[in-house]
Amino acid sequence: MQEYGLKNASANLAAAGLNVAIAHWNLSPEVLTQKTIELGQGVLNDTGALCVSTGKFTGRSPKDKFTVKDAITEHSVDWGDVNIPIAPETFDKLYDKVCAYLSGKEVWVRDAYACADPKYRLNIRVVNETPWANLFCNDLFLRPTEEEIKSQNPDWLILQAPGFLADPATDGTRQGNFTIVNFTRKVILIGGSAYTGEMKKGIFGVLNFVLPHDHKVLSMHCSANEGKDGDVALFFGLSGTGKTTLSADPNRALIGDDEHGWADGSVFNFEGGCYAKCIDLSAEKEPQIYNAIKPGALLENIKFIEGTHTVDYHDGSITENTRAAYPIDYIANAKEPSFGGDPKNIFFLTCDAFGILPPISKLSKGQAMYHFISGYTAKVAGTEVGVTEPQTTFSACFGRVFLPLHPTKYAELLGKKLEEHPDVNVWLVNTGWSGGAYGTGHRMSLKYTRAMITAAMNGELDNVAYAPHNVFGVQMPQAVNGVPSEILNPRDTWSDKEAYDKKASELAGLFVKNFEKYADQANEEILAAAPKVNVEVTN
């Protein structure tokens, strides 16, 4: 085996069962970019970022993600359509097949780690079949120093072989591609898909098990930032709720944009970079992301304006899931290292296309746990084929597909944190519709939403009067600086109050129905926070 680059002198791929011809260790972004171009696997755009195609898969394949069911996971993982079991012996045979496939090939190896808080550091070794996938790992995971690399040993191994296709008839998979997590061997095995997000979310899933299960640390699918006084804010929200836009604040330092842990006295980023959607990206709308697309960054599945190397960010012909990967320090106001203290404010963002939820409201501990498990937003007509009316979307803990444990485990950890820190405020923010549902009302003004979030973070809502929502029970502030008071109670914005009451009851019913699958493991405090269906209202 020929080996090049910086490595721990004792590091040995043979110990992992790999007998490759050439191993490139911890190469720089510049060299990985150049190697990709030499191999004909990518080109530069006009700002110097590397542009590649991930091939057949331009997104994750959740139905092809498996977890090995063994002594560690059998009684702790929430098995079902999200966590699909696979036998240890099936994994072992497939692992050996992937090693045999890589035998005699050229591979790209990277030592990295997850978790910016040193107490929870998880060392990772990644073996990739392509140099650009290794660049992605450099950008997305935390980067050890050269001195650390010389002594670092991996806690987990990611083995990624996009060119290897499984045989479902003999390998126990659904089709040719697969991602398998083995908590006993501490391996993430990926085959048949070059989509880099499988590696990122594979480690996220590992941390979503290890941190809550072993350390009682709350793992979270959220962004986080910090004010000049050290006050930390968390932003949870599904796609389309404004999470990226609202957490990107030039007056606050970015801790991270996607994955965090909340330990005693610490909110910390799991990652060392960002994996941003870039469909319809513009310098005006999202200048931080736009300016981060430079040498060392990776663009996936984009198209160029014809005859140029200028990216057409409006072109979604390959996929709407076009992505940019880059180190977090490409964001001007990113905090290094990427952690802060306990949060002061937590925002659950929802785009309520029914126009029912208040633009901002304060949650009790029980309500926070209930809405955390619910993870609600709504799709509007036109976003997907066949969607003609607003449709509810519920994703437990704002990231159900990444949770190995039952969602109530994460909600109970959140509740415990809120008990320990009673000064933490939890807010439900509706960035969706006001004055009626989609088609009748209008989208909440971003200017007003920003003003409400700023007021909450500045403590301006600590001493204002509140009134409870008649159906959802959340507390609505009666005054917010810079925001018209008439929009703070959504019922007041509807011309037809009876229509509002009817629609509010319908939405409450959808919440209750969604929660049925979690109710048997939810405590009384969570259950009591459910919205009230068929509430009588008097003017």
306: CB partners within 8 A, 6+ apart:
none
Query: Active-site residue 469, yes or no?
Result: no
Catalytic residue among 239, 308, 310, 485: 239
> Is the Cβ–Cβ distance between 468 and 319 less than 8 Å?
no
Report the candidate in 292, 263, 287, 262 with the shortest Cα–Cα distance to residue 275.
292
Catalytic residue among 125, 143, 201, 491: 201
Catalytic residue among 244, 322, 338, 374: 244
Query: Active-site residue 258, yes or no?
Result: yes
Give the 3-state secondary structure of residue 50.
strand
Query: Active-site residue 421, yes or no?
Result: no
Catalytic residue among 60, 344, 362, 379: 60
> Is the Cβ–Cβ distance between 234 and 260 less than 8 Å?
yes
Region for 22 from its dihedrals, namely left if φ exceeds 0, alpha if ψ lies in -120 to 50, beta otherwise: beta
74: CB partners within 8 A, 6+ apart:
none
Catalytic residue among 69, 125, 323, 503: 323
Q: Which amino acid is at 328?
A: I
> Is the Cβ–Cβ distance between 265 and 417 less than 8 Å?
no
Give the 3-state secondary structure of residue 300.
strand
Which runs of E-coded beta strand occur in 153-258?
Answer: 156-161, 178-182, 187-191, 218-221, 223-226, 232-237, 253-256
Q: In Å, how far from its chain's centre is CA 37?
A: 30
Query: Active-site residue 121, yes or no?
Result: no
Question: Strand order of the sheet with strand 425-430?
Answer: 253-256, 223-226, 232-237, 343-350, 425-430, 360-362, 475-477, 466-468
Query: Active-site residue 244, yes or no?
Result: yes
Catalytic residue among 143, 243, 362, 491: 243
Query: Active-site residue 443, yes or no?
Result: no
Catalytic residue among 64, 111, 257, 258: 258
Continuous segment of H or E residues that includes residue 522:
none
SS (H, E, C) 412-461: HHHHHHHHHCCCCEEEEEECCEECCCCCCCEECCHHHHHHHHHHHHCCCC
- So which residues are the catalytic ones? 60, 201, 221, 239, 243-244, 258, 323
